[in-house]
Amino acid sequence: MQNRQWLINGNPRGRAMRSDDFLRNEVELSPLGEGEVRIKVEYLSFDPSLKGQMENIGYADATALGEVMRASGVGEVVESKAAFVPVGAKVMGLLGWQDYATLPGDQVEIIENHDLLTAYLGPLGGTGLTAYFGLLHNGKPKEGDMLVVTGAAGAVGSMVGQIGKIKGCDVVGVAGGPEKCAWIVNEVGFDAAIDYKNDDVKKAIKEHCPNGIDIFFDNVGGPVLDIALARIALYARVIICGAISRYEMEKPPPGPANYFNLVFKRAHMMGILVSDHAKEFPQARAEIAEWMRQGKITYKEDIQEGFDNIPATLNRLFSGQNFGKQLLRMD
Ligand SMILES: NC(=O)c1ccc[n+]([C@@H]2O[C@H](COP(=O)([O-])OP(=O)(O)OC[C@H]3O[C@@H](n4cnc5c(N)ncnc54)[C@H](OP(=O)(O)O)[C@@H]3O)[C@@H](O)[C@H]2O)c1
């Protein structure tokens, strides 16, 4: 049987990705080894970190030119030599940009509830878990805290806002464009939104956060981070989750000029890497699933279609075209 694949063919460090960063390939599937399973990929997850992994900037296992592009996905087991993973099971794992993934059986997780298949790439997957640990572990939210989150209409950001509401915070989201801003307020339950593409962000933060920001959850970096640092409250927590505004820049931008306000406010600024919390994923997933069952969490999926569209779909994250968790359904 043939397996279509997209291979890594370039290092996009310091620039936007190009179509020639990926090479289309087709190989004959080899027989399964003992303990391995073969999975027909059904949905792929797209995460900004995929670009970082191609760049080998150090926070994930190194990638090499010519290897299948790494990505999380969900799919169905079509062949198995692992006793504990039966044929027909739906699983998630690092399936990669290909029709069929061949993995050791202990590297996939069985998904029992097939209705939530794609949720395991969103609220119950890396994005939901990043929001959960970034906010609860690092942000330590308290009732009445003022929480401001950037990338607020995105997969991580929209979850941060909702978990913040569950914990009793006042939540302001910063997102690009009126449609995304309307969605986070009217459907997701944020208290307010700031459109960084059209609003005066400095003025809007001052208006929405008259007593300062207790928790700033940042997915974007750049000028908005600097504005927020000038508005932090005493003992604020500034959580650096991502900095997507710089992921395509040739040189890192200058550091935030207002960082010294951390001193005056005795504040913490800290990074979060979701993989540090892997041992706690089952407990966190159970809690998020319960919130979903209670109707406290809503989420949006942006589902592109087809193997040929895989490389272009990754670019949607960097242009802000994605509206909701970026996924792709394989053909
Ligand atoms: N630390 C961790 O463990 C961890 C894990 C997962 C994700 N992350 C980080 O979390 C962030 C969000 O990831 P996600 O998967 O949830 O993606 P996402 O927010 O669903 O999609 C990316 C969004 O970023 C915004 N964006 C793109 N370029 C921008 C720019 N130049 N300036 C401002 N905003 C820009 C766009 O939203 P707008 O239309 O609103 O501009 C776009 O929709 C990323 O920074 C990612 O690296 C970190």
Asked if 164 and 101 sit in the same domain, the reply is no
The count of structural domains within the chain is 2
Asked if 152 and 270 sit in the same domain, the reply is yes
Per residue in 64-76, pLDDT (tens digit) is: 999 999 999 999 9
- pLDDT for the residue numbered 193: 98
Asked if 90 and 167 sit in the same domain, the reply is no
Q: Is 211 left (phi over 0), alpha (psi -120 to 50) or beta?
A: alpha
Asked if 192 and 142 sit in the same domain, the reply is yes
Contacts of residue 247, Cβ cutoff 8 Å, sequence gap at least 6? 48, 51, 52, 318
- Domain assignment of residue 144, yes or no: yes
- pLDDT for the residue numbered 59: 78
Q: Which domain holds residue 319?
A: 2-122+300-329
Pocket test for ligand 1, best of 317, 318, 322 (most atoms within 8 A of CB): 317
Cα 286 to ligand 1 centre (Å): 25
- Domain assignment of residue 289, yes or no: no
Residue nearest to atom 30 of ligand 1 (CA): 245
- Domain assignment of residue 290, yes or no: no
Residue nearest to atom 31 of ligand 1 (CA): 245
Among 231, 114, 110, 107, residue whose Cα is nearest residue 174? 231
- pLDDT for the residue numbered 146: 98
Asked if 136 and 266 sit in the same domain, the reply is yes
Residue 39's domain is classified under what CATH number?
3.90.180.10
Of 275, 292, 320, at which residue does a domain stop?
275
Residue nearest to atom 8 of ligand 1 (CA): 242
- pLDDT for the residue numbered 281: 97
- pLDDT for the residue numbered 197: 98
Asked if 118 and 79 sit in the same domain, the reply is yes
- Domain assignment of residue 202, yes or no: yes
- Domain assignment of residue 237, yes or no: yes
User: Which numbered atom of ligand 1 lies nearest the CA of 275?
Assistant: 3
- pLDDT for the residue numbered 265: 98
Asked if 176 and 116 sit in the same domain, the reply is no
Q: Which two tokens stand for residue 179?
A: 């449609």
Q: Which residues pair with 170 in a beta bridge?
A: 146
- Domain assignment of residue 292, yes or no: no
Of 258, 275, 292, at which residue does a domain stop?
275
User: Which numbered atom of ligand 1 lies nearest the CA of 244?
Assistant: 45
Asked if 131 and 253 sit in the same domain, the reply is yes
Q: How far apart are the first and last CA of the chain?
A: 16
Residues lining ligand 1, judged by CB closer than 6 Å? 47-49, 126-127, 130, 151, 153-157, 175-176, 180, 219-220, 241-242, 244-245, 272-274, 317-318, 320, 322
User: Which numbered atom of ligand 1 lies nearest the CA of 246?
Assistant: 31
- Domain assignment of residue 284, yes or no: no
Of 259, 275, 291, at which residue does a domain stop?
275
Residue 173's domain is classified under what CATH number?
3.40.50.720
Per residue in 142-180, pLDDT (tens digit) is: 999 999 999 999 999 999 999 999 999 999 999 999 999
Asked if 103 and 143 sit in the same domain, the reply is no
Q: One-letter amino acid identity for 109?
A: E
Asked if 198 and 98 sit in the same domain, the reply is no
Residue nearest to atom 27 of ligand 1 (CA): 318
Asked if 43 and 177 sit in the same domain, the reply is no
Burial 235-247 (b: 16+ CB within 10 A, else e): ebbbbbbbbbbeb
- Domain assignment of residue 285, yes or no: no
Cα 102 to ligand 1 centre (Å): 30
Asked if 97 and 156 sit in the same domain, the reply is no
- Distance separating alpha carbons of residues 190 and 106, to the nearest angstrom: 39
Query: Which residue stretches of the chain have pLDDT < 70?
Result: none
- pLDDT for the residue numbered 26: 98
